[in-house]
Amino acid sequence: MIFIAVRFTARPDHADRWLDLVADFTRATREEPGNLFFDWSRSVDDPNVFVLLEAFADAEAGAAHVASPHFSAGLATMAGAIAATPEIINIEVPQQGWGAMAELAPTGV
DSSP state of 22: T
The strand ranges marked E within 1-109 are 2-9, 35-42, 49-56, 87-92
Q: What confidence tier does 109 reach under pLDDT thresholds 50, 70, 90?
A: confident
Instruction: Give 3-state DSSP helix, strand, coil % of the chain, rounded to 5.
Output: 35, 30, 40
The model's pLDDT over 72-99, given as tens digits with 9 standing for 90+, comes to 999 999 999 999 999 999 999 999 999 9
Q: What is the pTM of this model?
A: 0.93
